């Protein structure tokens, strides 16, 4: 059974930075693309970023391009989301997710992910 545990959320002032982590269980982490999504109250879950199994390809939602960076450490079974220049509209619960199929570029396709973490709250204050 795959488990994903996010951490690193919190309250930060606009313009500040946070780094989220997602620790994954299982020995096959290195074969799967990983993604970050977020959901604000009353809104649909939104794609934030994704990274291929090797880390060689990354994808970003338009609203975070140039501000957020996704990375992974396969030796630690962990994926990261570095968030800089945070805005009020970045406030949301952030979820990490693992692809359904190995060696598959998931990109922003929500249906391509089969395992989700419990989420971590990020609140950006003015």
Instruction: Give the number of other Cβ atoms within 10 Å of residue 57's Cβ.
Output: 12
User: What strands, in cross-sheet order, belong to the sheet with 18-24?
Assistant: 4-7, 18-24, 78-83, 68-73
Average pLDDT, rounded, for the chain: 95
CB 106 within 8 A of CB 113: yes
Are 40 and 124 in contact, with CB atoms under 8 Å apart?
A: no
CA-CA distances (angstroms) from residue 96 to 15, 24, 58? 23, 10, 14
Check residue 28 and give its pLDDT: 80
Does the pLDDT of residue 120 top 80, yes or no? yes
- Cβ contact 75:63 at 8 Å: no
Going by pLDDT thresholds of 50, 70 and 90, the confidence category of residue 27 is confident
* Cβ 117 vs Cβ 97: under 8 Å: yes
pLDDT of residue 1: 82
pLDDT at residue 84 in the model: 98
Query: What confidence tens digit (pLDDT) does each residue in 70-118 have?
Result: 999 999 999 999 999 999 999 999 999 999 999 989 989 999 999 999 9
Query: Per-residue pLDDT for 41 more than 80?
Result: yes
Q: How many helices (H) and strands (E) does the chain have?
A: 0, 11
């Amino acid at each position: 059974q795959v488990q994903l545990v996010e951490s690193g959320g919190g309250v930060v002032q606009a313009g500040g930075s946070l780094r989220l982590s997602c620790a994954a269980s299982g020995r096959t982490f290195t074969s799967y693309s990983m993604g970050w999504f977020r959901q604000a109250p009353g809104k649909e879950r939104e794609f934030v970023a994704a990274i291929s199994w090797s880390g060689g390809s990354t994808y970003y939602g338009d609203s975070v391009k140039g501000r957020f960076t996704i990375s992974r450490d396969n030796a630690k079974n962990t994926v990261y989301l570095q968030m800089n220049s945070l805005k009020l509209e970045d406030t949301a619960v952030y979820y990490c997710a693992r692809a359904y199929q190995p060696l598959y570029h998931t990109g922003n396709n929500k249906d391509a992910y089969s395992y989700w973490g419990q989420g971590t709250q990020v609140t950006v204050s003015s």
